[in-house]
Amino acid sequence: MRRRMSARQFAFVFPLLLLIGVFSLFPIFSSFVYTLFDYRTNDQAAAGLFFGGNLNRSLYYEDLDYIIYFLEDDVTLVDETGKAEFSAIMQDVSKEMETYADGEDTIKLGSTESRQISAFIDDVERRIAAVYEKHPEIQFYNKEKIPVLTKEMRSCIIPSNFTGFEAYGKLLSDKRFGNSLLNTFIFTLVSVSFELVLGMGLALIMNKAVKGIGLVRAAALIPWAVPTAVAALMWSYLYDGGSGIIAELFTKLGLISSRQSLLNTAGGAMSAAILADVWKTTPYMALLLLAGLQVIEPGLYESSSIDGAGKVRTFFSITLPMLKPSILVALLFRTLDAFRVYDLIAVLTGGGPGGATETLSIYSYKVMISQSNYGYGSVIVVAMFLCVALIAFIFIKVLGAELISDE
């Protein structure tokens, strides 16, 4: 029976809950908020989270000043009637400048004010064009500049970039996302499967109480100790089509048609990435399984031996069932880690060739950083988070892994 947490107990765990909220939940919430906007830093109209209309006040004020500057040149070329018309326009522009002379660089606009500014720009452009049309014989200094300037003034009105859940609908029809998701699943499934089998064998070897086993354990863990980016760079040299040892070996064994095809073909590049990941993280899988082997009661093996069970029967009847919690923990950790793979593929293939090894992490990075599209990039990140949550749910609930106990 569970007991209700006391105030003193809650005060003890509150700092941990606060850390989880700040460093885990807040980034997730922020990413979700970004998905609701067309947020792109390379576009002035979308370089922020705008629920309503906004005005680039500083640029708008500067453009108004330029209109007066241009008209002061052209007013000298017309008659008294034209001077009066130009003067009236400049007075109206001056009043508009006074309205937006001070304030933040970007200010929020209501729908009414936004329409008023648009109407004012249209009116000024129409009135200036009318004066120019009355004097077709005059070569005005700034006749061609005014339309360009009023067009820029209209761009100062920044509309709302709130799109709601529209980007999620776009994601469902994004073929590149589908390809990245498939690549991620293939990489995760194949690499984790190999790591489980090889890690189990390595763990069984490291669990033997023989002379020198400590040195064997230390040597086996070296690949895991190497930073992933360094390991990826090392494997890229081994896979090099010109001088790579692995590329040459695979060519002689007939596994690939030529040394260049290892990283330059879709199948070769994915296989190369999986091989590098298996080499790198099999020791980690073995370490988790070794921890499970260490807690199995030796008396069970003695009883099995007395009953005449062989090695294979003992493994499947005692070792494997007793290792189930450790296997599921190891699979969960490695599956989540492999599903979020970035640095290995970023250094080794960059997602190529032709997107053949582009995973969700690589795709989201390219969208957010390379294309400066943080809105849609966040949608990809949230989709990846949902996939990770689903994987964790399957391992913990469906497969029955009792990772957290109330005892």
**Residue 28 tokens, joined:** 């997730």
Task: Encode burial over 193-205: b for 16+ CB neighbours within 10 A, e otherwise.
Answer: ebbbebbbebbee
**Is the pLDDT confidence value at 403 over 60?**
no
Report DSSP state, residue 135: -
**Is the pLDDT confidence value at 2 over 70?**
no
Q: Which amino acid is at 176?
A: R
Q: How would you list the strands of the sheet with 157-158, edge to edge? A: 106-109, 53-56, 157-158
Which pLDDT score is estimated for 338? 93
Lowest-confidence region among 177-181, 192-196, 228-232, 314-318: 314-318
From residue 208, how far is each of 56, 181, 220, 290 by CA, in Å?
Answer: 71, 40, 14, 10
pLDDT band at 18 (very low <50, low <70, confident <90, very high): confident
The percent of residues above 90 in pLDDT, for the chain, comes to: 38
Q: Average model confidence (pLDDT) for the chain?
A: 86
Q: What's the predicted TM-score (pTM) here?
A: 0.79
The percent of residues above 70 in pLDDT, for the chain, comes to: 96
Measured distance CA(239)–CA(360) in Å, rounded: 24
Torsion of CA 304, 309, 313, 314, to 10 degrees: 20
Which pLDDT score is estimated for 224? 87
**Residue 90 tokens, joined:** 């400049």
Do residues 38 and 164 lie in contact, with contact meaning Cβ atoms separated by under 8 Å? no
What count of Cα atoms within 13 Å lies in the side-chain half-sphere of residue 61? 14
Measured distance CA(316)–CA(296) in Å, rounded: 14
Architecture label for domain 170-398: Orthogonal Bundle (1.10)
Report DSSP state, residue 44: G
**Is the pLDDT confidence value at 97 over 70?**
yes
Torsion of CA 20, 22, 26, 28, to 10 degrees: -40
Which pLDDT score is estimated for 407? 46
Give the tens place of pLDDT for each residue, 249-291. Answer: 888 888 888 888 888 888 889 999 999 999 999 999 999 999 8
Give the tens place of pLDDT for each residue, 131-148. Answer: 999 988 899 999 999 999
Domain ranges of the chain: 53-158, 170-398
Give the tens place of pLDDT for each residue, 287-342. Answer: 999 988 888 887 877 777 777 777 888 888 888 888 888 888 889 889 999 999 99
pLDDT band at 346 (very low <50, low <70, confident <90, very high): very high
Which pLDDT score is estimated for 335? 92
- Average of pLDDT values for 217-222? 83
Would you put residue 403 in left (φ > 0), alpha (ψ -120 to 50) or beta? alpha
**Is the pLDDT confidence value at 406 over 60?**
no
- Average of pLDDT values for 181-201? 94
